[in-house]
Amino acid sequence: MRILILGGDGYLGWPTAMHFASRTNEVLVVDNYLRRLIARETSSEPLVDNPNLEERARIFAAATNYNISHAIGDCSDFRFMERIFREFQPETVIHYAEQPSAPYSMIGYDQARRTLDNNLSATFNVVWAVMSHSPGCHIIKLGTMGEYGTPDIDIEEGWLEVEHNGRKEKFLYPRQAGSLYHTTKVLDTDLLWFYVRTAGIRVTDLMQGPVYGLSTEGADLDDRLMPNFHYDDIFGTVINRFLVQAVAGVPLTVYGKGGQTRGYLNLKDTLQCVELAAAKSAKAGELRILNQFTETFTVNELADRVRRVGDELGLKVAIESVANPRKEAEEHYYNPAHSGLLDLGLKPHYLTDDVIADMLERIIPYRKSVDAEKIMPRVRWS
Ligand SMILES: NC(=O)c1ccc[n+]([C@@H]2O[C@H](COP(=O)([O-])OP(=O)(O)OC[C@H]3O[C@@H](n4cnc5c(N)ncnc54)[C@H](O)[C@@H]3O)[C@@H](O)[C@H]2O)c1
């Protein structure tokens, strides 16, 4: 299969590229290094300095004999996107190329504007590049479980049947995001749904929960192939952040009461999910929505587990509640469906004590690189 990966330099994009290339697919990765730029602008550099795409592809090819091609360019530039689609003719495009940080999108006007423009333009251009140059290409788009928010009813997988005045119809499940970043994902879904209805494109929109981990088949070949691993308040997702805090001897920062519940998944399962979605494409004129996570935890549960396993490794982990910088429910009902990917064949890697211990042990050698200044929340919602 010819697979185009947009945002292929990212935390998920690079491991995805190695995964598909190792299964003898033809892989082209596109990125404009926006993440690296924003990380520098906000002093949120990752734990380890990752080589650029050219270097990563060279190291990977030397280790495996599989090639990953790459192109540096901006997905919000339609002329660039046209050229990529016309020349590569992808059968599947995996679209990761967005500004993914909720705190960054809440800093102020410039950051909100950049997030809105970048994310919506990239998605709009993917749709138009497919319609204009690769009709039939399956779009796999990364959405987020954050699109649904935390409603006081069960969360369905993308759709909700509504009965009103004795009549019924199925609609997109109501969405109420908690940050501007998450709101761009809601708007992306609406754009995709519009073009599915009107142009008959085929789309899988993956409502993904926060991802954790740094080990994959490809990343384990060479330390230089590790995904970019952030532990700061801007880009670090909560489990990755807690692991680094535990190793660095910084108390785990629980925001507010810590009852916030989300659906999480291992990086290895992100790779499985996109592979399963690619293997069984959405149909022409179908917006297939799948909730992509394997288990739910409160923030307090995560902190307790990292502390327990960290203590067993002799790390002396403390937990500290800090004022919540976000506007969000700190205790709430949360019951999202997630059977679609299991039905497609997902075999989850759960967050066991062994998995936590393994991640901590992988981070310990980098302890001296941790900058504790990057950990405390620097962005408040208001
Ligand atoms: N990591 C998670 O826990 C998580 C959870 C839910 C959803 N997601 C979504 O998955 C996708 C990937 O997330 P990630 O954690 O790998 O983020 P990331 O920032 O590490 O990767 C995104 C990549 O896209 C690139 N990019 C952004 N805009 C671009 C543009 N206009 N042109 C070209 N490249 C561009 C960035 O430079 C970056 O390398 C994002 O859409 C994110 O919203 C991630």
Dihedral (C-alpha) 312, 316, 320, 325: value to the nearest 10 degrees? -80
CB burial string 347-365: b at 16+ within 10 A, e below: ebbebeeebbeebbebbee
C-beta 270 within 6 A of ligand 1: no
Ligand 1 atom with least separation from CA of 99: 27
Q: What is the mean pLDDT of residues 361-373?
A: 94
pLDDT for residue 8: 98
Closest by CA to 173, choosing from 191, 148, 190, 196, is 148
pTM over 0.85: yes
C-beta 76 within 6 A of ligand 1: yes
On the question of pLDDT at 58 being above 90, the answer is yes
pLDDT for residue 235: 95
DSSP 331-346: B----B---HHHHHT-
pLDDT for residue 13: 98
Find where tokens 């709009």 sit: 124
258-310 per-position pLDDT tens digit: 999 999 999 999 999 999 999 999 999 999 999 999 999 999 999 999 999 99
SS3 of 204-266: the string is: EEEEECCEECCCCCCHHHCHHHCCCCCCCCCCCCHHHHHHHHHHHCCCEEEECCCECEEEEEE
149-192 per-position pLDDT tens digit: 999 999 999 999 999 999 999 999 999 999 999 999 999 999 99
Q: How far apart are CA 191 and CA 180, in angstroms?
A: 16
Closest by CA to 351, choosing from 304, 316, 291, is 304
User: From the CA of 270, how far away is ligand 1's center (Å)?
Assistant: 13
Q: What is the mean pLDDT of residues 53-80?
A: 98
What radius of gyration do the chain's Cα atoms show? 20
Q: What is the mean pLDDT of residues 201-208?
A: 98
On the question of pLDDT at 130 being above 90, the answer is yes
Pocket test for ligand 1, best of 9, 35, 292, 297 (most atoms within 8 A of CB): 35
CB burial string 211-249: b at 16+ within 10 A, e below: bbbbbbebbebeebbbbbbbbbbbbbbbbbbbbbbbbbe
User: From the CA of 295, how far away is ligand 1's center (Å)?
Assistant: 22
On the question of pLDDT at 382 being above 90, the answer is no
334 is annotated as an active-site residue: no
pLDDT band at 31 (very low <50, low <70, confident <90, very high): very high
On the question of pLDDT at 366 being above 90, the answer is yes
C-beta 140 within 6 A of ligand 1: no
